[in-house]
Amino acid sequence: MPRAVKKLTSETEKPIKKRIKIPIKFNLQNFFQDSKSYTPILIVLLLIASFLLGALTTKLSTTQGLSGNPQTAAQPNNPETTPGQPAPGEKVNVDVGHLPVLGDKNATVTIIEFADFQCPFCKRFFDDVTKNIIKDYVDTGKVKFAFRQYPFLGEESNFSAEASECANEQGKFWEYHDYLYNHQGAENSGAFAKDKLIGFATELNLNTEQFSSCLNSGKYTKKVAEDLAAGQKAGVNGTPTTFVNGQSLVGAQPFSAFKTLIDQELSK
pLDDT tens digits, 149-208? 999 999 999 999 999 999 999 999 999 999 999 999 999 999 999 999 999 999 999 999
Q: Please provide the CATH number assigned to the domain covering 109-266.
A: 3.40.30.10
Q: 258: closest CA among 96, 134, 159, 98? A: 134
pLDDT score at 92 = 87
Residue 63 has pLDDT above 70, yes or no: no
**Choice between 16 and 195, residue whose per-residue pLDDT is larger:** 195
Q: Which of 9-18, 118-127, 140-149, 173-182 has the least mean pLDDT? A: 9-18
The predicted model gives 215-238 an average pLDDT of 96
pLDDT score at 219 = 97
pLDDT tier, 91 (very low <50, low <70, confident <90, very high otherwise): confident
The predicted model gives 24-37 an average pLDDT of 51
**Choice between 175 and 3, residue whose per-residue pLDDT is larger:** 175
pLDDT score at 90 = 73
Q: 75: closest CA among 227, 231, 242? A: 242
